[in-house]
Structure 1
């Protein structure tokens, strides 16, 4: 699937690969035992990866029941379960690097990868936490790599309170950890501003969706 995408001028000559983690990661502690790690530009040559994934991933559209009707899910999706080959070798490299950095803190490896294709500003995901499975009762981590045009990821405490906002794209990494999935919610809101396509890759441990 082809998408109208304007590559970053800074990334045109970059080789596709992953950068270091370590002390390049910046952690922000939120309320209720939640935290966020941010590593801007972790994936070099990220625009190349965007184009590969947009073209070669077998994206699918979904429909879901919403109250009394069935509606289109406003994004394209592909889920890679445990032991299912990932669509590009650099994603396997990224998962290994995340395991190396977070393994002792998380206590287990990242197992699955969920991909979402936001084609333009009309595509979105509503407020939610990844609470299907163990995320509803246990601390866990969800690591998200964003490629393509930047879009806002917004987080807010469950039950109300001030929100935080991150513009993610072009190889940025964000990790939501601690109690984040059950005490906070996150969303990719729609936007009326011109917005190019973005793909997010969400790495999760076993039993977290």
Structure 2
């Protein structure tokens, strides 16, 4: 059900190591929303991809869609507050994010949701992570990407010009402020020949 992918194919093989978060570049989106982007925050991400693809207990969920039940077009795994993360570098990443963004966020990152996009047919539709507190409060969602780059698109809620970020190879994006309420994000399908990608979404308590 999963694909192994050698880190050397990405040119980012070697031990996983996190860089400084102070190099992230912030873009103000308006209405209190912003994104920070830091390419290559995690070096050696190819090795992490290989371990996660092989060892995470991936689940294929099915959901009601109008009059039929369909498979969610990606594999999923969620780690709650008390669950140990599947690799030590992810625990280090969550701690580093909490230390760096904690003064602005006002709390640490608590959970981790993993998505496995196996090829260009896997995707996620336009949405905001606004279940729970994100519907009424400013919050942050930090996404670390490993594997082949896929476009994460952002647009104002209700439609408008979109921003496109090709994320992979250890890239980090942090969506903050009102972003989950006033903007939407998606991973669009693509007919291009793209390799698999895993995203790790770190969130504070009560945000999904």
TM-score, normalised by the number of residues in structure 1 = 0.96
Q: Once superposed, which parts of structure 1, at least 4 consecutive aligned residues long, lie more than 4 Å away?
A: none
Query: Which consecutive residues of structure 2, in runs of 5 or more, have no partner in the other structure?
Result: none
C-alpha contact (below 8 Å) 1:144/1:203 kept by paired residues:
yes
Following superposition, the deviation at residue 10 of structure 1 comes to 2.9
Answer whether contact 1:6 1:196 (CA < 8 A) is retained. no
Shift of 1:6: 5.6
Matches of 1:9 and 1:65 in 2, distance apart? 37
Q: Structure 2 matches for 1:1-209, cutoff 5 A?
A: 2-3=2-3, 5=5, 7=7, 8-12=9-13, 14-22=14-22, 24-209=23-208
Q: Deviations over 1:46-95 (max 9, x none)?
A: 00000000000000000001111111000000000001000000000000
Count of aligned pairs between the two proteins: 207
User: Deviation at 1:161?
Assistant: 1.4
* Unmatched tracts of structure 1, length 5 or more: none
How far the C-alpha of 1:11 sits from its partner, in A, is: 1.3
- C-alpha displacement of 1:162: 0.7
TM-score (norm 2): 0.97
Cα distance in structure 1, aligned partners of 2:100 and 2:24? 10
1:151 CA drift (Å): 0.2
Could you give the per-residue CA deviations for residues 147-198 of structure 1, whole angstroms, max 9, x where no partner exists? 0000000000012211000000010000000000010000000000001000
User: 1:2 and 1:158 mapped to 2: Cα distance?
Assistant: 33
